[in-house]
Amino acid sequence: MTMQLQPVLLAVQSALSAQGQLAGGDVAVEAAIDHLVQGLGPVLRQAAFDLAEQAAVEVRSQLPDRQVDVVLLDGDPALRITDAPVTDADPAAGEDLDARITLRVTPTLKTMIEDAAEAAGASINGWVLDALSKRARKGTDERGFRSTTTFDL
C-alpha cells in the first residue's frame, strides 16, 4: 500500500493560501503564511510516516504470520507485507513428538479447526502443530511476496 502524500500537501497549502487572502493583502501575513506552508511539508510527511507505522502495527496484529514494514516508494510511505519464511532451523525438527498438551476450545472453534485442517489436507493435530509453530516463530527475518495498493490520505 502506498500513501500518496502530494494531494494532502497541496490541499493544506491551498487551504492556508486561502486563509492568507483573508488578510486583505497584508504583506507580512502573506509572508508568514508562505513560511508556514514551506515548514509544514516536512511535518506533514513525518505525520504520514507515523500514521503508516500505526497502520503497520494494526496490520501486523491481524496477520501474525506476516511481517509488515514501512518503506519509501518514490518518496511516499508504503507498507511492505512479506510472508513468513520457511526456515530449516526449526528448533523442534529433531525432537520426538512426545510432549502433550490439553486444549479446551469452543465447539465453534473446534469446527473451524477441523474445517481448516481438512482444507489443508492435514490431520487436526498436524494442522494445530503447524499453526502453533508458525506463530511461535513470528518475529524472525521474514521474506516473501509483496502487495502494493495505493490510496490517498
Residue 114 has pLDDT above 60, yes or no: yes
Query: 147, 4, 2: which is closest to 63 by C-alpha?
Result: 147
Entry pTM: 0.49
Strand arrangement, sheet containing 66-73: 66-73, 76-83, 2-4, 150-152
Please enumerate in sequence order all residues whose Cβ is within 8 A of that of 145, keeping only pairs 6 or more positions apart, or say none: 81, 82, 83
Provide the residue ranges of all domains of the chain, joining segments of one domain with +: 1-86+141-153, 88-136
Q: Could you give the percent of the chain with pLDDT greater than 70?
A: 80
In this prediction, residue 9 has a pLDDT band, given cuts at 50, 70 and 90, of confident
Report the mean per-residue pLDDT for the chain: 80
Q: End-to-end alpha-carbon separation of the chain, Å?
A: 12
